[in-house]
Amino acid sequence: MNPAAILRACRHSPFYLPLLALWLVRLAVLGMVCLADAAAPGEALAGLLVHAVYYLAESLFLLALCEGLRRLRPPGWVWGPATVLLLFGVMLLSLIDPILYQIIGDRLSPSVLRQFVGWQLFVDSDFWQPVIANRLPAGLGALTVAVFLFWVSRHVFHGARAAGPLARRHVLAVAAAGLAGMLGAVAVAAIPLLEPVEVLFLREWSGLDALDYSAAERRARVAQLRAWLGLPNGARWKDERYPLVYEFTAPGAPVADPPDVFVFVVESLRGENFAPANPSGPRLAHTPHMTALAARGAAFTHYLSNGFPSGPGYIAITHSAWPHLRKRIVAEFTQTPLDGIARRLGSLGYRTLHVEASPGFDKQENWVRAFDVSLWLDQPDERSADVRLADQTLDWLRRWDAEPKPPPLFTLYLTKDPHLPYRYPDADGKTLTFGPVLEENYLKSLHYVDAQLGRLFAYLEQRPRARNTVIVITGDHANFLDQQQTRAFPVNDTVWSGAVIAGPERLIGPPRVEHSVASQVDLLPTLSALAGDRRPSAALGRDLLHDDGRPRDRALAIRSGGLRYQTGQGGILADPALPRGAMPAEALPASPGHERAPALSAGQVHALVSTWSYLLERGEVWNPAFLASATSGK
């Protein structure tokens, strides 16, 4: 079949020019994303060329689809609006997708929509505030969509009257060329392509989005991941079916009186503005209660969240699990067993309490069921949310402490603020407000939250079990203070948080400042050790309070828009979908005493995270039977 004849036929199609315009717009947007921050411009340009071929091939396939619809000879009032809506939807998604990608580091995928209660994501302030801050490019994008819709409508309806549909052989040839081009681009690409958003939906609906490796490749990848994670002292790998589960060869001495544990997760806790994490920082929030607690405990200056936003951080804290490479665990893997701190401590006799204003917005309510008791607000958007949370928790604790001989207590407490736009009390002290400068808002909002936490800290110090209580402060993630600087990578503005562990010196050691790199996945093994729990575990982290033999001074932060490998000697950023090369991560505050961790390339970082995501998809991370059998055997 003559390609020139096919091309001439395509040029007479009413869909030819609209799809060509769509391809050019997509290529321009992709070029801006691909070349931004490129550490290897030549590699980035080569990757852009491969993407250009892929997107052009997909446009050919869409043209064949539209012409195939015309060949069915439906009434004009059916196929005309249908094809216009198809082209309009594809163009709209092509502009919304990169906006979302830059704001939260995730594509407009089914996984993201499921986490944020579907399309309600687009009426939430988290989406609109950055759009408003970037109103000029956002306005140009909206204007582009409007002009495109008007032009496509006229072009399709007028062009359809001037030319009949393509011949069947031409439609089949164009469809075949499109498929061949897409498959060829995928075959030559060194890394997964940044596919058009409609392809993401089709891949998931067809079940083609799963990671898959041969048996030999699985063994090699698992061996690499195990070698990187290492084993705690006295432990061995337990089961090849669940290759990250380890067990201790000898049981530890039981803890006669396990401590009460309170973990306070502060929304958007920025290490840069948090005195315990950055004591010499120029713009610190006034947090006297958290700072005083840090002075008599262990403060961690180089502590990262393993993901962004709240959902990935929540799973990392409660289950010592990294985020998935592309999907949201909190929404997508609710039926997948993970090694969780609530069930671990609950099976040791702890009473477990979960406190949060609104766990339903981003699907965390699916994970709250692991706790014995859950406190939340009937009206979570009420302006006094953090005041009410503290009041409600204090009431519950007073009733709990009045019980005769209550068991040890584990509490996970998540604050409502500081959340964009970072609200703080007005002059009357009864309502919350915010100003035009996000940084000022944030400093005041964190001070306001510190005051509410201070009320809880004061009560905990007066409890009968105060001398056997451990208090942990951590962030679910950090957040941007300049919405014009949002990036999809796990930069300091999104993942440099902070952590404090305070309690009796016999449990946590002397007061100190820890400069080694740590992250949220380290909390579960730390709390398990405090409770004397030496049962099998699939934790990805290490004990923060004692040298347990696992490698120290390093962490991974994972977003769909980028990966970060951080050590005390520095860090790298790697893009999982665009060939920009490994870029140096932003520096953390310099401090002495770092151990030198082995360097990893961008490809090695991607391989570790891909292997983890593969095991997660296959349900090969954890089996609750490991915990049940170990508990019953005691």
The model's pLDDT over 213-245, given as tens digits with 9 standing for 90+, comes to 999 999 999 999 999 999 999 999 999 999 999
Two tokens at 178? 């499109």
Average pLDDT over residues 13-30: 81
Task: Please state, in angstroms and rounded to a whole number, the distance separating the CA atoms of residues 540 and 523.
Answer: 10
Phi-psi region of 274 (alpha: psi -120 to 50; beta: other; left: phi over 0): beta
pLDDT at 593: 47
Contact between 286 and 447 (Cβ < 8 Å): yes
In this model, does residue 150 exceed pLDDT 60? yes
Q: pTM for this structure?
A: 0.84
In this model, does residue 4 exceed pLDDT 70? yes
- The residue type found at 55 is Y
Task: Please state, in angstroms and rounded to a whole number, the distance separating the CA atoms of residues 515 and 496.
Answer: 13
Task: Please state, in angstroms and rounded to a whole number, the distance separating the CA atoms of residues 634 and 43.
Answer: 57
Would you list the domain boundaries of the chain?
A: 3-205, 221-632
Poorest-pLDDT segment among 179-193, 251-265, 490-504: 179-193
Contact between 297 and 460 (Cβ < 8 Å): no
Poorest-pLDDT segment among 32-41, 53-62, 387-396: 32-41
- What is the residue whose two structure tokens read 């998809």? 617
Query: Comparing 602 with 273, which gets the higher pLDDT?
Result: 273
The CA–CA distances, whole Å, from 331 to 93, 276, 366, 533 equal 22, 33, 8, 29
Contact between 76 and 160 (Cβ < 8 Å): yes
In this model, does residue 105 exceed pLDDT 70? no
Closest CA to 285 of 499, 511, 449: 449
Q: What confidence tens digit (pLDDT) does each residue in 265-323 have?
A: 999 999 999 999 999 999 999 999 999 999 999 999 999 999 998 999 999 999 999 99
Q: How far is CA 99 from the centre of its chain?
A: 16
263 beta partners: 412, 472
Contact between 609 and 603 (Cβ < 8 Å): no
Query: Comparing 89 with 356, which gets the higher pLDDT?
Result: 356
> CA angle 439-491-573, nearest 5°?
165
Mean of pLDDT over the chain: 85
pLDDT at 219: 97
pLDDT at 594: 47
Domain made up of 221-632: CATH architecture: 3-Layer(aba) Sandwich (3.40)
Average pLDDT over residues 530-542: 97
Eight-class DSSP state of 626: H
Eight-class DSSP state of 537: B
Task: Please state, in angstroms and rounded to a whole number, the distance separating the CA atoms of residues 563 and 575.
Answer: 6
Helices 197-205, 76-104: inter-axial angle, 10-degree rounding: 100
pLDDT band at 201 (very low <50, low <70, confident <90, very high): confident
